[in-house]
Amino acid sequence: MPPEPESPRREVVRFEEVSLHFGGTPALDRVSFELRAGETRIVFGAAGSGKTTLLKTALGLIKPDSGRIFLFGAEITDMSEQELFDLRARAGILFQEGALFDSLTIEENVAYPLLNQPALREAAHPNGAGRLAPAQTVNERVRETLHFVELDQTLEKLPSELSGGMRRRVGIARALVTEPALLLYDSPTAGLDPITANTIISLILKERELRNTATILVTHRYLDGHLIANFRYNPSSGALERTSRTAEAASVTTKFFVMKEGQLAFQGSEAELQAASDPYVRKFLRHGSS
Amino acid sequence: MASVRERCGKALGDFVLDFLKSPVETFQDFLVLSVRAVRNIFRSPHYVDDIFQQMDVIGVGSLPIVMLIGLFSGVVMTMQMARALQQYGAQGQVGQIVSIALVRELGPVLTAVLVAGRNASGIASELGSMKVTEQIDAMRALGTDPIQKLVTPRLIATAFVLPLLTIIADFIGLIGGAVIAYTLLNISLSQYFTSAWMTLQYNDLVQGLLKPFVFAIVIALVGCFYGMRTTGGTQGVGRATTKAVVVSSVWIFFLTSMITRFFLYYA
């Protein structure tokens, strides 16, 4: 059984003055922000500015040097790995290159969280901790999720047999299969052609539209952020359409971050981003419009 | 004002501390990984399929080369020892020397070095590739302890199969020696095997089985350790693989001398 969806506006992630250094170089420098259910954060930044580290610390995969991190209301800063597993069961992450297990088939990759998340196993068998979820349930969920990302025909294939874009979509399927309340995307469109990149963004919008999940998306492409802030997926037509929400309403749910040397150099709406005068921040606008 | 001598002393002290910092940290990390890997043997979930898969890869996969090396080490030992013993008219005792050398030392060490070359490198490169492609992070994000899933099965599998491989290598080595003794030295098979068997004591057999067990733990943990801390892409994987083989081989030779000393003087 997937976890209950987060109630609207409930706090999902909170960073309080989080700092982390790798060999003296700051990866995160006094980063503070909050993400609530249904909200989206688009994170821009140059390579090495701390975007991936931000995502990994949010899930407790990397421990900060100082500051506090809260995930679903629980402080995870010093939480043990075993305790973190239960919280991570409510989150999904797409790693930069997909990070699919190359010795497992696509079906096994997507089924992996259902079969290995301790919290999900116990939910499937309340009296039998450690037992696997019923094979039929897992199989159905895997097929549904692969259908969602339009990769029904790849069940028996290995990741090496798929293209880069398809692997990224399988990564999204693996992140979505548990119907998490928080989704983290690490450069989902990096290195992909524009058509495939737009397909990936459409899937992210589709997921957000159907499940209203809290999302943090790291990207280099301004267009990705622009689409996510201003477009929605229409389930009946199956196409993207411009959202009818007012700019103020959109700015409440979707905010843009720009990271520079571990710091949040900018936080704000798309309009504020476009009006920013900082040359570093404006580079991401020019990159997107070029 | 500190004197020149005090300043030099302080600078030297700082240099030594800086020099030792990295190896001490590495050893500390290795101990942490080792303790967690051993502790996980007694914790659920147990990845039994992975243990059997690793036994197949490490044990069955290494069998042909271990048998081959065992055979030739027995053959070469018998030829060399027979020549030396001939000077004292004791060629008939070649079985004793071959069996003691094989069971106590050559069998365990040669087998372990072979398995280190084949499997410590394999483990380090496999885990290193998983590390640099974020598969280990993905595993943690998806609810699996990578030490439980990747390290503990390899540790159990290696600790189980290396003593078995050593027994096979010893046995094949003795047969190789017997073939040479019978065909080239005109020693009867019964004389060869009787002297080989009668000379072995309980102490030799314990030593011959304890060594591969200890070496197996070192090979598996060193391979996993360098694999799990790989950084720097494909080049990093190459470095991790090399380090795993070199470090585990050095540890094998160091530990065999320690265990031999222990058995010679205390057991």
Could you report the per-residue pLDDT of A43-99, keeping only the tens digit for each? 999 888 999 999 999 999 999 999 999 999 999 998 988 889 888 988 999 998 889
- Would you mind telling me the total number of residues written for chain B in this entry? 267
Asked whether the predicted pLDDT for residue A41 surpasses 90, the reply is: yes
Instruction: Convert the pLDDT of each residue in A190-216 to its tens digit.
Output: 888 888 888 888 888 888 888 888 999
Residues B116 and B249 sit within 8 Å (Cβ to Cβ)? yes
- Could you count the other beta carbons within 10 Å of the beta carbon of residue A135? 10
Closest listed residue to residue B118, CA positions, set B168, B171, B65, B159: B65
Chain B: nearest CA to A152, how far in angstroms?
22
Chain A: nearest CA to B242, how far in angstroms?
23
Q: Residues 137-156, chain B: which have Cβ within 8 Å of A? A: 137-145
d(CA A29, CA A65): 10
Q: What is the DSSP letter of A98?
A: B
Using a CB-CB cut-off of 8 Å, the residues of chain A touching B139 are 101
Mean of the per-residue pLDDT values of chain A: 84
d(CA B58, CA B143): 27
Can you read off the two tokens belonging to residue A248? 């103020």
Can you read off the two tokens belonging to residue B223? 């391979």
Of A56, A119, A130, the CB nearest to B137: A56
Closest listed residue to residue A55, CA positions, set A176, A214, A191, A211: A214
Helix (H, G, I), strand (E, B) or coil at B194: helix
Using a CB-CB cut-off of 8 Å, the residues of chain A touching B47 are none
Chain A: nearest CA to B143, how far in angstroms?
4
Q: Residues 32-51, chain B: which have Cβ within 8 Å of A? A: 44-45
- Chosen from A55, A86, A116 to mutate, greatest number of chain B CBs within 10 A: A116
Instruction: Convert the pLDDT of each residue in A141-162 to its tens digit.
Output: 899 889 888 888 888 899 999 9
Can you read off the two tokens belonging to residue B10? 């302080």
d(CA A192, CA A284): 18
Neighbouring C-alpha atoms within 13 Å toward the C-beta of B45: 21
Strand order in the sheet with A11-22: A25-36, A11-22, A66-71, A74-75
Residues B217 and B159 sit within 8 Å (Cβ to Cβ)? yes
Chain A: nearest CA to B163, how far in angstroms?
28
pLDDT at A258: 93
Provide block-wise average pLDDT over 10 residues at a time, chain B (267 residues): 79 84 90 94 90 95 94 93 86 89 94 95 95 93 92 96 96 94 90 89 91 96 95 91 95 95 82
d(CA A89, CA A81): 12
pLDDT at A288: 45
Please indicate whether, in this complex, the C-beta atoms of B138 and A93 are within 8 angstroms of each other: yes
